[in-house]
Structure 1
Amino acid sequence: MRDAEEIYADIIEYEYKGPAHHRRMSPNKRAAQFIPFAALTGFGDATDETARLTERRRVLTESRREELDEKIAACTSSGVAEQAGTVEITYFLPDLHKDGGSYVTCRGKIRKTDPYARTLLMEDGTCIPAEDVWDIRME
């Protein structure tokens, strides 16, 4: 079997000029030809969503629920609210796409409570359902 130099000996010294009727492709366009093709569009997003972890809602005891209700009442009662300053509320935020959610902490002042809807409205506009509150710290 003959080696490549022997086979192409007659043309190996010629300089390649390229086709006369086409311009040379830029290196960026040439490199783009070799980018991997995504045959399964959306598959990466779906696997990322499946891999994302969520927490389960923790169950409060009755005594803990009463303690939190007292803290909420203390934070919103007239006179105490001005002195209390900011509060730090940790609450459960349900996930919109899968079961479970995460525990989020919000800092600020409680603007008002709605006893019928059982919600807390913070000064920044965040509305927190009272049954989702896990902890309240007064500063």
Structure 2
Amino acid sequence: MSVYGKFESAEKKYKDIIDLPHPTSRKHPRMSLEARAAQFAPFAALTGHKEELQEERRLTKHKIIQDEGYREELDYALDHICQSEGEICIRCEYFVADKEKDGGDYKIATGIFKRIDSETNHLVLKDGMEIPVEDIVELEEIEDPTLDNV
């Protein structure tokens, strides 16, 4: 018997109910298409696992501890900037500790030097950014790109 023959026999068997309307319950309202689709949505058994793996793969850098000679050079550069007249544009590379794991990353900030906050021991830029002096690894005076050199 062919597949088509099986279909014909099934059609004959259910001929009395095949054209009836779909039954609806009086107790339970019809489920919306969104609710029906949600039943077949993929199940995430390991919620957050992908993010944990990404965090584990993320690399951090170790903080470089400078020797005493380099710290003296940095102190001299800070002293020179503090004593200078007028606005001085600086470029500062500093270490930012990672909140999640050991190590961190090095960032670069450029801006106009405002002051050294003696209470917090932070270098303060004109835009309000504060950088802990002990985290600074490089400091240099640069030409201010916003000024017109005419």
Give the TM-score category using the shorter length: 0.7 to 0.9
What amino acid is aligned across from residue 87 of structure 1 in structure 2?
Answer: I
* CA–CA distance in structure 1, aligned partners of residues 20 and 64 of structure 2: 72
1:62 pairs with one of 59, 68, 72: 68
* CA–CA distance in structure 1, aligned partners of residues 102 and 122 of structure 2: 22
SS of equivalent residue, structure 1 residue 75: helix
SS of equivalent residue, structure 1 residue 135: strand
Partner of residue 147, structure 2: none
What is the CA distance between 1:119 and its match in structure 2? 2.3
* CA–CA distance in structure 1, aligned partners of residues 65 and 124 of structure 2: 23
What amino acid is aligned across from residue 46 of structure 1 in structure 2?
Answer: E
Partner of residue 96, structure 2: 93
SS of equivalent residue, structure 1 residue 71: helix
* CA–CA distance in structure 1, aligned partners of residues 101 and 109 of structure 2: 23
- Superposed counterparts of 1:123-134, under 5 Å: 123-134=126-137
- Superposed counterparts of 1:68-87, under 5 Å: 68-79=74-85, 82-84=86-88, 86-87=89-90
- Is the Cα contact below 8 Å between 2:123 and 2:131 reproduced in 1? yes
TM-score, with length taken from structure 2: 0.70
2:23 pairs with one of 1, 14, 19: 19
| 1:96 to 1:7, Cα distance in 2 relative to 1, 3 A | farther
| 1:6 to 1:97, Cα distance in 2 relative to 1, 3 A | same
What amino acid is aligned across from residue 88 of structure 1 in structure 2?
Answer: R
Structure 1 window deviating more from structure 2 (129-138 vs 43-52): it is: 43-52
Which stretches in structure 1 are left out of the alignment for 5+ residues? none
* CA–CA distance in structure 2, aligned partners of residues 17 and 99 of structure 1: 67
| 1:29 to 1:118, Cα distance in 2 relative to 1, 3 A | same
Which stretches in structure 2 are left out of the alignment for 5+ residues? 143-150
Give deviations 1:47-73, integer Å, cap 9, x for gaps.
332222211112323333222222212
- Aligned-CA RMSD value: 2.9
The count of residues paired between Structure 1 and Structure 2 equals 135
| 1:61 to 1:30, Cα distance in 2 relative to 1, 3 A | same
Identity of aligned residues (%): 33
What is the CA distance between 1:137 and its match in structure 2? 2.9
TM-score, with length taken from structure 1: 0.74
* CA–CA distance in structure 2, aligned partners of residues 87 and 16 of structure 1: 83
